[in-house]
Structure 1
C-alpha cells in the first residue's frame, strides 16, 4: 500500500493528542540515541582508566560511532523501499540497546570498537529518519514544531542524558551508565511499536523544479548548508569531546562540578533548540549563521579566559544555547532546500552531520594529544568562523511562507 505526502497519519487539519504522543516517543528515541553517542564525553576519564587506554583513544569511540552512522543514515532511506518505518525504527532501537550493552561489558579497545560499530548502525537509522517521520505524524501547520520536538532529543540528551549519565558513572561506575541506556533503548523500542502509525514509503510532493523524487540533491542551497554543517559540527565536536579535560585543566573544576556545568550547557541547549525552531522554519539561513557566530564566540572565550571559572561558565552557557539550536536549524535549512525529497535529504544531512562528529572527535584527539587543550579550542573557533563565512556568501534555502490555519 502506498502512502500519502508528509501528513498521511493525520486525518484532519489539527494534530490530535495521540499524534503528539507519537512525536514525543520519537523525541525520546533521538534523546536515547544521542545520549548513547555522547556519553563517553561525560565519563571519558574513568572510561579510559577502566579500559586501560589513553583519553584520546576513548574519545575516538565517538569517531567510530560517527563514521558508521555517517554511512548508515543516507543509505537506509534508499534501502527501505515500502517497509513500515515504525518497524524499522523499533528494530533500530533494539540494535542501539545491543550496542550499549556491549559497551558496558567491554574489556579493551577492541571490544569497545565492536560495540560502537553496532551502536552507530542503530543511531544512524533512528536519527536519519526521525525528522522525516515527524513531519508525517502531524497536521501541515505543525510540521516545524514537530521537527523541533523530534530534534529536541539532541539537546535534551545534553540537558539530561549526558549529565545524568555522568552522575551515574561517578556514583556507580561508567559501565552502569551504559547498561542503563541499554534498558532504556529497549523500552523506547516497545513504545515506538505501540504509538507510531504504520508508515510506508512517502509519495513525492511535487515541490521544486522537476517535482519528482528523482531530482538531484546536488542543489546550491543544499551544498552550502552541508559545507556549513561540516565545518561547524567538526569545530564543535573537536572541542566538545574534550570539554571535561578542558574544564578540569583550565578552571580546575571537580568531576561533580563538571557534571553540573554540562547540565547548564544542556539547559541552555534546550532553550536554543526551541528558540531556533521557532524562527528557522521561515528564516533558516540567518538562524544558522547566528548559531555559528555563537559557537565560535563561546569556544574563543573558553580558550582565552577559561582559567576564570565565571568566564568558563558563561562560555559553556553560550555554547549550549548556540549549539542547541543547530540541529533543528540545519534540519529546516535542508528540508527548505529540498522539500520534494525530505526523507532522502534528511538521511544525507544526518550522514554528513555524523561524519563531521567523527571528523571532529578524531581531529580533536590529534590536536589535544599533540598540542594541548588551548590550541584545540582556538582551532575549533577558527573552524566555526570559516563556517560563518561560507553561510554568509553561499546560497541558502528560500524563506517559507507562514503556515495557514
Structure 2
C-alpha cells in the first residue's frame, strides 16, 4: 500500500473535520469491498434474471478480483504525482456509477464491464487508503484512524454480503446494486466536502516489488498463505447460497445465515487482533484449520438451518481473522519495505478472490455444487503444511537491503 511520509498536523486543523474525512474514506472502503463481494449472496437471482448459469454468474466475482490484483500496484505508481484526494474520489465515484449501471442493465456483458471498472477502483483505492490517515488526523490519532479505515475492509467482507443479500431478498437484486452504488456516490460527496488536499509525498516503484518478494522468504510464505487460504475460501464461499439451498435451507433464511457468518467474522477479527501480538503464527495456523473444518462439516447432507448456522459461525470466525492476521504477518515480515510488501499482499488477496470464484464456477458447472467444498478445503489445508514446514514466523524475518 502506498505510504505517505508522516507530517506534522497544523494546530489549526480541526480534529473533528479530520475524523469526518476518515469516516468518508471508510465508507468508501466499505462501498468498494462490498461491491466486489456483493454477487456472492445474489448469484442465483442475478443468474436467473440475466439467463446465465451460476458458474458463469460467478464471473462477477472473478473479474473485479482479477483486475484489482493488477490495478493495486499500477494505480499506485501511475497516480504518483496526483492529489490523493482526487484519486480516491474518482475511484469511489467510478464504483458508484458501475453499480448503478449494473442495477439498470438487462445484459450480462454490461454487468461484467461494470465489474471490470469496480476491479480498478478496488485495487487502487485499497492500496492508497492505507497511508491516508497520516494526512487527516493529528499524529497521536493516526494508528486509530488507520484501524478505522481498514475496519471498512473487514466489515465489508463479513457484513456487506449478508446485508446486500438481505436487501436483494426483500427488494430484488437490482435494488441491492443500486444501494451500494448510492453508497459509493455518497462517499464521493463526503470526500469532496471533508477531505483536504493530500499531495503525494512518496510512492512505490515497480522495481521494489520483485526485490521484496525475491529477497524475503517470510514475505513469500505470507503471500503463499494468502493465496491458499483466500482462494480456498472463495472457491466455496462464492457459491454458499446454492450450497445452502442444496442442503434444504429455505430462500428466506439465506440472508439470516449470512448475517450470522458476518457477526461471527467481526468477532473473529477482534479475537485475532488480541492474539496476533504474541501468537501470530499460531493464529494463522488456527485460521488454516478452522475454515476447512467448517467446509467439511457443510458437506454433510441435509444439515438443516440450525446446524448450518453453527457451521457458518465457525467459518465466519475463521475468515474474519484472515485480513488482520495476514496483513500483520506481511508488515512484520518486511518492516523496511511495508509499501511494496503490502502492495503485493493486496494484489494476491484480490487475485485469490478472482481465482477462487473462477475455480468454484468451473467446479459447479462440471462436478456439481458440493465439489467446491472439497476443493476449497483442500487448498486451505495446504496452508497448514506450509506453516508447519517453516516454523519461523515474521518476527525472525530479515529484510534484504
Residue in structure 2 matched with residue 253 of structure 1 by the alignment = 249
Q: Is the partner of 1:216 in helix, strand or coil? A: helix
What is the TM-score normalised by the length of structure 2? Answer: 0.88
- Structure 1: state its 5+ residue gaps: 206-211, 401-405
What is the TM-score normalised by the length of structure 1? Answer: 0.87
Q: CA RMSD in A?
A: 2.8
Distance 1:26 1:136, change over 3 A: same
Residue in structure 1 matched with residue 230 of structure 2 by the alignment = 233
Aligned pair count? 388
Does the 8 A contact of 1:27 with 1:151 survive in 2? yes
Superposition deviation, residue 360 in structure 1: 0.2
Distance 1:278 1:25, change over 3 A: farther
Residue in structure 1 matched with residue 91 of structure 2 by the alignment = 92
Distance 1:60 1:82, change over 3 A: same
Does the 8 A contact of 2:96 with 2:180 survive in 1? yes
Distance 1:131 1:285, change over 3 A: farther
2: CA distance, partners of 1:142 / 1:326? 25
Residue in structure 2 matched with residue 216 of structure 1 by the alignment = 211
Distance 1:159 1:215, change over 3 A: closer
Residue in structure 2 matched with residue 209 of structure 1 by the alignment = none
Does the 8 A contact of 2:97 with 2:185 survive in 1? no
1: CA distance, partners of 2:373 / 2:145? 34
2:391 is the alignment partner of 1:397: no
Distance 1:300 1:28, change over 3 A: same
Distance 1:101 1:389, change over 3 A: same
1: CA distance, partners of 2:292 / 2:135? 35
Q: Is the partner of 2:395 in helix, strand or coil? A: coil
Superposition deviation, residue 17 in structure 1: 4.8
Superposition deviation, residue 57 in structure 1: 0.8
2: CA distance, partners of 1:79 / 1:109? 30
Residue in structure 2 matched with residue 356 of structure 1 by the alignment = 352
2: CA distance, partners of 1:136 / 1:290? 36
Superposition deviation, residue 204 in structure 1: 8.8
Distance 1:143 1:280, change over 3 A: farther
Distance 1:107 1:214, change over 3 A: closer
Using the TM superposition, name which of 85-94 and 196-205 deviates more.
196-205
2: CA distance, partners of 1:368 / 1:23? 41
Residue in structure 1 matched with residue 122 of structure 2 by the alignment = 123
Using the TM superposition, name which of 167-176 and 362-371 deviates more.
167-176
Using the TM superposition, name which of 87-96 and 129-138 deviates more.
129-138
* Within-5 A mapping of 1:26-175: 26-134=25-133, 137=136, 145-175=144-174
Residue in structure 2 matched with residue 371 of structure 1 by the alignment = 367
